[in-house]
Structure 1
Amino acid sequence: MIIKEIKHGSEDYKRTVELRDAVLRKPLNLEFSAEELDNEFDSFHLAALNDHDEVVGCLVLQPLENQQIKMRQVAIREDFQGKGLGKVLVNFSEVFSYEQDFNEMIVHSRDVAMGFYEKLGYTKVGEPFEEVGIKHFRLEKKL
């Protein structure tokens, strides 16, 4: 397994979009717009590739103000879920972000993923809110 930064618009990026679409968007009957994807040009994109060079996990890191960075669109291919890849990918993203001089990670977590992030040291902040039609929570972690 390799986790690496990939370039926006690259072939690997296109494969991460396909994974994000399958895992996060299609179950909600949503699709990415070209504008949404174009707006990710200034974000960091991380991909986990298996031994066959297939994208099996990914996430997006969007720089914010005040040395904060937002982890978005965490997706793990279904046959790799529950095997620890999500934890490895999130841990990698935290080290990566710290090395880029960010000191706090922000996550908007779906209700069903709250336990995952809390086990990794994230703290819920504020009240739940709706995003993409479902309940989310804001979580934070100092890096």
Structure 2
Amino acid sequence: MIIKEVTFGTEEQKKTIALRDKVLRQPLQLQFSEEELENEFDSYHLAALNEDDEVVACLVLKPVSGTEVKMRQVAVEETQQGKGLGQLLVNFAEFFAADHGFELIQAHVRETALDFYLKLDYKQEGEQFEEIGIPHYKVIKNL
């Protein structure tokens, strides 16, 4: 297993889009728009690849300011869930963000994932809100 940054517009990055679509969008009967994906040009795309070079987990880091980054679209292949890969990927993202000069990481997390982030020392900020039609919470963590 290797976790690395993949370059926007490459085949590897397109594989992360396919995984995000499969895990996060299809269950909600949603699709990415071309514009939405094009707006990720200035984000960092991180992927976990298995020994067959298949993307099995991924996420996006979108700079919010010079010191703050937003973690988005965390997805783990269904067959790999519950094995610690999500935690490994999020930990990698935190080190990656800190290495790039960010001091704070934030995310809008689904209600079903809130406990996962709280166990990783993220702090809930504010009340529940709706995003893409489902309950979310904002979480933050100092890097």
- Decide: shared fold, TM above 0.5: yes
Q: CA deviation at 1:65?
A: 1.8
- 2:17, 2:126 → 1: CA distance? 30
2:53 counterpart of 1:53: yes
Amino acid at match of 1:34: E
2:97 counterpart of 1:80: no
Give the 5 Å matches for 1:1-143. 1-143=1-143
- 1:123, 1:6 → 2: CA distance? 28
- 2:69, 2:120 → 1: CA distance? 16
- 1:127, 1:120 → 2: CA distance? 19
Structure 1 moving runs of 4+ over 3 Å: none
Structure 1: unaligned runs, 5 residues or longer: none
Matched residue SS, 2:53? coil
Q: CA deviation at 1:66?
A: 5.0
Amino acid at match of 1:113: A
- 2:131, 2:13 → 1: CA distance? 24
- 1:77, 1:111 → 2: CA distance? 19
- 2:132, 2:37 → 1: CA distance? 16
Q: Deviations over 1:33-82 (max 9, x none)?
A: 10000000000000000011100000000000251100000000000000
Amino acid at match of 2:8: H
TM superposition score normalised by structure 2: 0.99
After superposition, the CA RMSD in angstroms is: 0.6
Residue range with higher mean Cα deviation, 64-73 or 10-19 = 64-73
TM superposition score normalised by structure 1: 0.99
In structure 2, relative to structure 1, the CA distance for the partners of 1:66 and 1:7 (3 Å cut) is closer
